[in-house]
Amino acid sequence: MGEPAILVNAAGGNDPRVTVTPAHPFEEIRGADWRQIFDLNLVGGALLPCQVFGPAMKEQHRGSIINVASVSAHLPLSGVVTYSAAKAALLNLTLFLAREWAPYHVRVNSLTPGFFPGEQNRRLLFNEDGTPTPRGQVILGHTPMARFGVPSELIGAAVFLASEKASGFVTGIDLRVDGGFLSQTI
């Protein structure tokens, strides 16, 4: 078994207990629930893996770390303030490590997916008949490419960031694969 060369930190998730709704306002979010989301998305999901694998990468003077962020790190989406804040902190950690570990030839970047239908968000995006839900329609209307992403598009971006040959001089970026979602305004 060789030394670690690529680390992808892709943990992510939210909890209904921290989702802000009219029935559950922001001021009722408990600190313990807030910390749980930060522990998942930031601490256990990126900080600790970087602390475990980063030293070996620094010692061997090579490596690529890819932290998977979220469009909500840039524009907090309605209801998911805790998740959005944790992912924004992940972007900050990415920039910090990119600067600190660049002298060791360890590249640290983030990858921000737009909306890719998966098991955890399928009910949010699609009705049982496969048509977009009202929320899905709003997302598509805010996405200039007017569609959801497909996994191969995210995989290609990750391969680019992982490849020293393709992105050897790339560190500290946030590669957005979002169909233009974050470029859209009113």
Dist. CA 65–CA 103, nearest whole Å: 15
| Residue keyed to tokens 């972007």 | 91
Residue ranges, the chain, pLDDT below 70: 1
pTM of the model: 0.94
What was the pLDDT predicted at 16?
A: 83
- Positions marked catalytic: 83
Side-chain-side CA neighbours of residue 34 (13 Å): 10
pLDDT at 185: 82
pLDDT of residue 170: 98
For 145-182, what is each residue's pLDDT tens digit?
A: 999 999 999 999 999 999 999 999 999 999 999 999 99
Q: From CA 81, how far away is CA 53, in angstroms rounded?
A: 29
Give the C-alpha distances (Å, rounded to integers) separating 63 from 80, 165, 186.
32, 12, 40
From 70, 74, 77, select the one nearest 41 (Cα to Cα). 70
> What's the pLDDT at 1?
54
Q: Report pLDDT for 77.
A: 87
Q: Mean pLDDT of all residues in the chain? A: 95
Domains and CATH numbers, the chain: 6-114+151-176 (3.40.50.720), 115-148 (no CATH)
| Strand (E) or helix (H) holding 90 | helix 81-101
